[in-house]
């Protein structure tokens, strides 16, 4: 049995442990989310939608389904996640960049930021990411994002477990959500991975810092960016989706 301890390491899922991403969060899991995004984009857009920019595209699991509808460009900070995305979606364009500052010099008919928005840790971060979306959107285009974690739905010290397998590797993921300081805008998430392969157990730990804001803050920052904002419920879940139109 091999036990490895990386208690103090942050964000390993997007670096040395990125190979776990397609196992713990397979592309098939993204079908309902993308169907919902596409429906909202089609419903709200004031222009024909052919091109889509995915900021914080990660391993390209959303894009795997978006590409059935749109010509996809993805941006992410992590080279190892981008290389997973390129393998999965050779038809898409993938570029390294930070959603708070990247400027591609082109506009798109739609922009999305899915789960990656949770890595915006301050109001300034959120505002910068929303501005990037705005700057890359053609007039009449739609930006969709969602507040999976927010002040209103946060449960202190919650634990979630899940098990997924791919070929001969089985991974059990234990996730713990904890807010050490409710006065600030961040929470800490600790992941423990139990990786079982050929009778061997490997244990890895990983920490992530996520942002936590009230829904009013999301709403206000989106409007200050210049968007017309509608808040809708993520079907079947307690997650607010923001559908934002750039008028023009
Ligand atoms: C949960 S993953 C996204 C998964 C993705 N939705 C998919 O379909 O595979 C979160 C991603 O956010 C990226 N990320 C975090 N901060 C970022 C930033 N400031 N700019 C761009 N990407 C960022 C990470 O590198 C990581 O790949």
Distance set, CA 169 to CA 1, 220, 243 (Å): 15, 44, 38
- Band (pLDDT 50/70/90 cuts) for residue 8 is low
Chain centroid to Cα 217, Å, comes to 19
If you classify domain 25-148+213-245 with CATH, what class do you get? alpha beta
Name the residue of 33, 37, 56 to mutate for ligand 1: max ligand atoms within 8 A of Cβ.
Answer: 56
Numbered ranges of CATH 3.40.50.150 in the chain: 25-148+213-245
- Could you give the residue ranges of the DSSP H alpha helices within 48-122? 63-66, 79-88
With a cut of 90, say whether residue 100 has pLDDT above it. Answer: yes
> 81 CB under 6 A from ligand 1?
yes
Question: Which residues, in sequence order, are CB contacts of 87 under 8 Å at separation 6+?
Answer: none
Q: What is the pLDDT of residue 157?
A: 98
> 61 CB under 6 A from ligand 1?
yes
Query: Would strands 200-211 and 240-245 be described as parallel, antiparallel, or unpaired?
Result: unpaired
Q: What is the pLDDT of residue 128?
A: 98
Distance CA 161, CA 176 (A): 9
Query: Would strands 186-197 and 169-178 be described as parallel, antiparallel, or unpaired?
Result: antiparallel
- Band (pLDDT 50/70/90 cuts) for residue 9 is confident
19-78 confidence digits (pLDDT tens): 999 999 999 999 999 999 999 999 999 999 999 999 999 999 999 999 999 999 999 999
Q: What is the pLDDT of residue 91?
A: 98
The mean predicted confidence, pLDDT, of the chain is 95
Name the residue of 89, 112, 119, 144 to mutate for ligand 1: max ligand atoms within 8 A of Cβ.
Answer: 119
Return the SS3 of 57.
coil
Residue found under tokens 């442990």: 17
> 76 CB under 6 A from ligand 1?
yes
114 CA to centre of ligand 1 in angstroms: 8
Q: Once rounded to an integer, what is the mean pLDDT over residues 83-94?
A: 98
Tell me which H or E stretch contains 101: none
Report which DSSP code applies to 167.
T
% of the chain surpassing 90 pLDDT: 92
With a cut of 60, say whether residue 2 has pLDDT above it. Answer: no
Q: What is the pLDDT of residue 20?
A: 98
Numbered ranges of CATH 2.20.130.10 in the chain: 2-22+151-211
pTM for this entry: 0.95
180-208 confidence digits (pLDDT tens): 999 999 999 999 999 999 989 999 999 99
Indicate the fold that domain 2-22+151-211 takes in CATH. Answer: 2.20.130
Would the CA dihedral through 69, 72, 78, 80 be positive or negative? Answer: positive
- Band (pLDDT 50/70/90 cuts) for residue 248 is confident
Q: Once rounded to an integer, what is the mean pLDDT over residues 121-133?
A: 98
Q: What is the pLDDT of residue 237?
A: 82
Query: Would strands 2-3 and 93-96 be described as parallel, antiparallel, or unpaired?
Result: unpaired
Residue found under tokens 């040395």: 16
Q: What is the pLDDT of residue 6?
A: 46
């Amino acid at each position: 049995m091999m036990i490895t301890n990386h208690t103090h390491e942050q964000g390993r899922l997007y670096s040395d442990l990125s190979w776990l991403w397609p196992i713990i969060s397979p592309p098939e899991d993204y079908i309902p989310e993308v169907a919902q995004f596409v429906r909202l984009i089609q419903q709200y857009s004031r222009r024909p939608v052919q091109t889509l920019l995915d900021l914080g595209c990660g391993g390209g699991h959303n894009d795997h389904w978006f590409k059935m509808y749109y010509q996809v460009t993805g941006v992410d900070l992590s080279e190892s996640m981008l290389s997973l995305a390129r393998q999965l979606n050779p038809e898409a364009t993938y570029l390294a960049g930070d959603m708070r500052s990247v400027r591609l010099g082109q506009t798109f008919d739609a922009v999305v930021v899915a789960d990656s928005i949770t890595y915006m840790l301050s109001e300034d971060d959120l505002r910068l990411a929303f501005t990037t979306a705005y700057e890359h959107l053609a007039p009449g285009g739609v930006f969709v994002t969602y507040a999976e974690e927010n002040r209103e739905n946060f449960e202190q010290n919650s634990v979630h477990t899940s098990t997924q397998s791919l070929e001969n590797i089985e991974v059990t993921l234990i996730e713990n959500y904890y807010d050490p300081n409710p006065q600030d805008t961040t929470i800490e998430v600790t992941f423990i991975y139990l990786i079982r392969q050929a009778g061997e157990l490997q244990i890895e730990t990983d920490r992530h810092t996520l942002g936590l804001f009230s829904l009013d803050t999301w709403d206000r920052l989106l409007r200050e960016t210049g968007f017309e904002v509608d808040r809708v419920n993520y079907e079947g879940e307690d997650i607010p989706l923001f559908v934002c139109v750039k008028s023009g």
